[in-house]
Amino acid sequence: MIYPIFVYGNPVLRKVAEDITPDYPNLPELINNMFETMHNAEGVGLAAPQIGLPLRLFVIDLRALSEDKPEYKDCKKVLINAHITEAFGEEVKDEEGCLSFPGIRETVSRKNGIKISYLDENFQPKEETCEGYIARVIQHEYDHIEGSMFVDKISPIRRQLIKSKLTSILKGKTTAKYKIKTA
C-alpha cells in the first residue's frame, strides 16, 4: 500500500519521534508499505514521520545506485530506534532532495562518516560505521526522526531564495509525481 507523503509544514515532521517496541501492530506490513511508498516516489530513504507516524523508524534503499557504486548492490535497510553515536571526518557538501519537499534540491554540508546503533527489522541490535553517500542518506533520515529537516541546514541566503517554493508547499500549491499530504 502506498501512503501519502507528508510535506513541509505538517507538524508531525517537527516532532522528535519515539522508540517503537517489537509488538507495534502490523510492523512488518508498515515496513513493506514504507518501502513501496518510497520506491513509488523514487526516493532512496523514507522516515516514518514522513508518512505521519512520529516513530523512530526509517528505511533506505541504495540498490538503484549500484551501477555506479557496486558497494550498494545489497544496500536495503530498516533502521529502528536508531542513534548516531558519533559523526566524524570532513564536512562534505552535496546536493540533497527530500520527498517532503517536492521540487527542492539544496546543497547540504554533512560529516563524511557516522557510527550508528539501531535495531533491524527483526529487532536485532546492529552497530555500523558508514562513510560517504550512505552516511549522508542516513544522516538525512535521522534528522527526520529528530524533528529536523535538511532545509534547517542550508544557509539563510539560500533559504531566502527558496522562500516562495517553501510557501507554495505550505499552502498546498505544490505538485509531486506521488500523493502528498499538506498540513
Strands laid side by side in the 45-47 sheet: 45-47, 57-61, 76-97, 105-119, 125-131
Chain residues 114-173 in contact with Zn ion, contact rule CB under 5 A: none
Q: Which is nearer to Zn ion, 27 or 98 (CB)?
A: 98
Q: Is 98 an interacting residue with respect to Zn ion (CB under 5 A)? A: yes
Indicate the residue whose CB is closest to Zn ion. Answer: 98
Pairing state between β 45-47 and 57-61:
antiparallel
The question of whether 90 is a catalytic residue gets the answer no
Burial of 57 (0-12, 13-18, 19+ CB in 10 A): buried
Please state, as a whole number, how many other Cβ atoms lie within 10 Å of the Cβ of residue 141: 25
**Among 11-19, 74-82, 92-100, 162-170, the segment contacting Zn ion (CB under 5 A):** 92-100
Instruction: Look up residue 98 and give its DSSP letter.
Output: -
Decide if 64 contacts 76 (C-beta within 8 A): no
Task: State the binding string over 8-37 for Zn ion (x if CB under 5 A, else -).
Answer: ------------------------------
Q: Which is nearer to Zn ion, 53 or 98 (CB)?
A: 98
The CB-of-38 to Zn ion minimum distance in angstroms stands at 10
Interacting residues toward Zn ion by CB under 5 A: 98
Positions marked active-site: 141
